[in-house]
Chain A
Amino acid sequence: MRERWLAALQFACFGTGALLVSVVALARLDAQLGRESGIAAFAASLDAPDQSLWAPERVRDYAASLAAVKEAPLAILRIPALKLEVPVYATDSELHLNRGAGLIAGMGLPDKGGNLGIAGHRDGFFRVLKDAVPGQKIEVVTRNRTHVFRVVSTEVVEATDPRPLADTLDPTVTLVTCFPFYFIGHAPQRFIVRGEYDWASKETST
């Protein structure tokens, strides 16, 4: 009888454990593949066809169609010193954060200035932010331009603190992820990396 109970418990633990570990492994694989396909989709959208003979309305419609592609990222976020390169999607939904980073609703847009808020998972692509230090270059590549920012500060704030999300007159970027970086369950704080526009290394169109 004891033998049968032990056998049942052994198979139940092995089965459930293997299932959970597989789910985590598959989610990690999906995140990596999603990141790569997002970057590829963005790069493909930069290679616009020859539009020299097109009517202005057709050029505008073509640009609108690119923006309307459901899963096409709006930009690419790069921090070369941290070897971070992720697609930036229009929202910070669970799906988008699994495959890259997402814009925080109600904050600035990549080409329009203000405080550009970008969120990412602390147990995914944004874990490298723990090594962010002032002076590091942050690039936000859009279809129009490559915007260069420099890290000016990092800080830990409470999850209810709205100050880092406030709008700014000059262009800034605010990267947000959960803190502590290694924590099981919902982390109570947020890690903030703040970058200011680097006018000295202002780049031209992409």
Chain B
Amino acid sequence: MKAFASLGSFALALIPAVALAQQPAACERVEFSEEVLARFPNIRAACLDVITKGDQTYAVVKADLVRATARRMTVRVKRPDGSHSDPVGINVAPNERLNVGGKPTAIQDVAIGQELTAYISVKDPGIALAPAEESEVVTFTPVPATPEPAPQQAAAEPAPTMPKTATSLPLLGSIGFVLLALGAGFAFLRRRSRA
């Protein structure tokens, strides 16, 4: 009886370990399309899990946020060796909430450098950020074959100009010291003229 009990607890203890071990196996088994492999050559190494929801199957990866605007996030997918992929842009809605470290976080509260969970579709090259709730519909942003373009200054916004970073204080201070020296000179002249 005791032997059965210890065997049972051993089997229970193994469950999480087996579950963890299955994650990379799922990543090994899943078939990525050629287009996806062309956009993300290291996807299999970066893959942490595979999720199937409805007719969508996607790989789970970790990504660092490099740029955030109200409607678009740019991330770099993390590889197991700590290196990053090229930047990839993801469209977001202004009122969207993301899962950041297990906590629901509003888009405007996400900061660069934060590690986010991202989904990469296994069929078509598309990427999405993990929503706050698992039940939410995941909308993928297509990943083009060309690299993420450099940001352009919006035509409506004035281009930044060099700031004015000099004050008149050194000039005022210098004039002040010259005047003090002149005052001392006049005092010397007065003393000499009296003598």
Contact = CB atoms under 8 A, between A and B. Distances in A.
B138 to A, nearest CB: 23
Nearest to A25: B173
Contacts of B68: 111-113
Interface stretch (B10-18, B29-37, B162-170): B162-170
A23 interface: yes
Contacts of A160: 162
A142 B180 CA distance: 45
Interface in B136-173: 148, 150-153, 157-167, 169-173
Interface string A6-47: 110111111011111101100110000000000000000000
A63 to B, nearest CB: 8
Q: Is the interface of A mostly helix, strand, loop or mixed?
A: mixed
Contacts of A114: 67, 151
A187 interface: yes
Nearest to A116: B112
Interface residues of A, number: 70
A203 B173 CA distance: 43
Q: Is the interface of B mostly helix, strand, loop or mixed?
A: mixed
B157 to A, nearest CB: 6
12 contacts: A10-B187, A14-B180, A17-B181, A17-B182, A92-B165, A97-B167, A114-B151, A117-B160, A123-B167, A167-B151, A167-B152, A171-B66
Contacts of A190: 162, 165
A121 B190 CA distance: 42
B51 interface: no
